Structures are given as C-alpha cells and as structure tokens.
Amino acid sequence: MGGIETLLLELCKAMKAGSNYDPAVCVFEAQGVLEKEFERIGVPVHVVQKQRNRDYLLPFKLSRLIKNESYELVHVHNQMAWLYGGIGAILAGKPLLYTEHTFLQKFKPSQQRHMKRLLFWVGRKTRLVTTVAKHLIPGLEQDMGIPHERIRNIYNGIDPAPYQLTIDRERKMRELGLSPNKRIVGIVASLTEAKDHATLVKAFSLVLQDVPDAVLLIVGEGALEADIRSLVASLNIGEHVCFLGVRRDIPELLQLFDVFTLSSLVEGLPVSLLEAMASGCPVVVTRIPGVDELVDERSGVLVPHSNPEEQAAALVRLLTHEDMAQMLASAARQRVLDEFSFAAMTQAYLSCYDDILSR
C-alpha cells in the first residue's frame, strides 16, 4: 500500500459516485491491504499473479482478462504495469492510457535498458500519457519517444476534508505507547532505497542531541526494513524510534506529527506529502524534482538529499520554533487547497477517458 494505490482507491470512489465509468482493478500480487476496501465500494479486484523476474505469459493472461470482461479502456500506472498491462491491452485491441508516477531510474541500469526498448514500442501504441509532475515529461519525450502533444500533466490531488480533524492527542499517543509530552517527527513512505530512510535515521540521531524528548514514527513497510532497524540499533536510538508498519489511520497520525519529513532521493509527486500539507503539518523535505513542484520556501523547508546534518538542522529548527512551524504549515495547507484539488485531478482523468474513447 503506497501513494499510487491509495490515490487509485480514491479515484475509483469518485468514479463510482458520479461518472459514466465503471472501474475495475487488476493487480499482480494477491492479498493487498486495500483489496477489501476496493471490493466494499463495488470495484472488482482481479489478481493476475506475476512470476518472479520476467513473465512472458503475463501479457497474454491480461489480454484474456480484458477481452473476457469486455473492458473498453485500460489505464496503467507506472512502468511495470505499462509494460505488461500495456502489451495486454494492445493484444486485446483496447485503447491505452498510461500514468507516469516516478522515474525509470528506480530500476537497475540493465533493467532500464531492457525496459526502455520495450516501452518505446508500447509507447507508440499508447493513446495518451499523463504525468503526476512536470519534471517527468522530458524523460518520456527523450527516452520513450512520446510526442509532446500526447502528454498531459495531471497533478496528484487529495480531498483535504479527512485531514482536517481534531483528535484526542493524549489518547492517540497512549494507543501508540508514547508519553503525551514527546515531540514527534514522522515519515509516511515505503521502506525502499528511493525513500532513503537511512539518511533520516542518521539525521534523527543528531536531532536527539538538541531535542532529547523527540520520537521518530516510521509509517510504511518495505524490503529495507531489517536494514533500517539495524541502523537504528547501531546508533543506540531504538527507544526513540517506532516502526508502525502499514496504517489506515494516517489522518489521525498526521495530527500527532510536530514535523513531517521525507528524505527521498527520487519522487514523482508524493501523496503522503500532500496529505501532510493538507493536515497543517510543517514539512522538512529533500529538494528533488517533484517535491520542489509541491513545496516552496513559503510552505516548507527544503534540504539537500543525502545530507543528514542539513536535515537534522531543519528538523530542530521547526521543533524549537513553533511560530515558524505554524506559519509554514498554514501556507502549506493553503497551497494544497489552491493547487492540488482532488476534484480537478479526477475531472482531468475523466476528460482523458472521454477523449480516448471518442476517437
């Protein structure tokens, strides 16, 4: 469960509530955390299991599913889905929309070369391509040969209402086994190389020198969890770091955060950051493409990536200067309301569907 999955759930809810489209979802792994939530709103979830490494049969299975269910349009998210789902749609003779959420650079160089060759061909058959941030457009034009007129930028958007709530902080802190007077630094992100939790953990060990009552809440799961836990232990800060895993109470948790932070190396347009800003949470994030389209100097603190000292200094500054933190948080919330509307995002995707199917 990451940003793409939660965004897709909200998009499906909106489509079911007020559009001419009837969505279904297909995933390559079973027993996802959100599966039952899709089914509760009447969205079928098809699991077509992907084999490890390359799966040459998967596109044929997806093509058969598309034909059997009489789906009229296929919308794929990120490169792996574009590769397999895209070929499946082409084999089924159905129009294809692709949304780019992150760089291809998250893959190993050998994988990148292989995928570029295949995706160049799939891209020629893709009716429209959308990006969640403008910095992703040049890569699609240069690496995939997508003509500029077939690319649209649609910023991720969220409904701010669920994030503007009042909670019983003391009760929520007790629920997490924490003393109410602790200062909370939080991150909501998959535990992967791209998110670079290691830099954050090192930064947080420095934060404790100035703010000894601080606690770091790590929300998310991923392949690097054992490595991150080992780093926490080696720095002797285990009693100040809580691994919360996957959670569905993010709006409540964000109300606990005195500062939200990301240490990412690569991002598209992070949904968790949008959620934090909508919650009125001060943010310290890395100055990387995508993030800098969402946060500026008036709405948060931007720091260099891979630099624990700079990240620590920014976290300490906001933890110890409440007026500054609140000023940034207020501007961040307003920025989300003004520029990252969920309704605008939904309408933009529906317009893409209309345009594709009217051709």
Low-confidence stretches of the chain (pLDDT beneath 70): 1, 105-106
Global pTM value: 0.88
Q: What share of the chain is helix, strand, coil (3-state, %, to 5)?
A: 50, 15, 35
Residue 33 confidence (pLDDT): 79
Domains 3-157+342-357 and 161-339 share a fold: yes
The CA distance from 163 to 151, in Å, is 31
**Tokens standing for residue 199:** 């830099």
- Secondary structure E strands in the chain: 25-27, 45-47, 74-77, 96-100, 128-131, 151-153, 183-188, 214-219, 241-245, 259-262, 283-286, 301-303
Beta carbons within 10 angstroms of residue 356's beta carbon? 18
Residue 250 confidence (pLDDT): 95
Decide: 46 and 65 in contact? Cβ < 8 Å: yes
The CA distance from 337 to 153, in Å, is 18
Output the 3-class SS for 211-230.
CCCEEEEEECCCCCHHHHHH
CATH of 161-339, one of 3.40.50.2000, 3.90.1170.50, 1.20.1730.10, 3.40.640.10: 3.40.50.2000
Beta carbons within 10 angstroms of residue 20's beta carbon? 9
Residue 115 confidence (pLDDT): 82
Decide: 238 and 262 in contact? Cβ < 8 Å: no
Query: b/e for 213-226, b at 16 or more Cβ within 10 A?
Result: ebbbbbbbbbebbe
**Tokens standing for residue 85:** 């789902």
The CA distance from 173 to 209, in Å, is 23
Residue 1 confidence (pLDDT): 67
Residue 228 confidence (pLDDT): 98
In the numeric block, the tokens 């802190």 are attached to 173
Longest Cα–Cα distance of the chain, Å, equals 62
Domain layout of the chain by residue ranges: 3-157+342-357, 161-339
Decide: 184 and 256 in contact? Cβ < 8 Å: yes
Residue 34 confidence (pLDDT): 87
The CA distance from 62 to 310, in Å, is 47
Phi-psi region of 128 (alpha: psi -120 to 50; beta: other; left: phi over 0): beta
Beta carbons within 10 angstroms of residue 114's beta carbon? 14
The CA distance from 297 to 345, in Å, is 25
Residue 106 confidence (pLDDT): 67
In percent, how much of the chain has pLDDT > 70?
99
The CA distance from 148 to 11, in Å, is 25
Residue 156 confidence (pLDDT): 93
CATH number for the segment(s) 3-157+342-357 = 3.40.50.2000
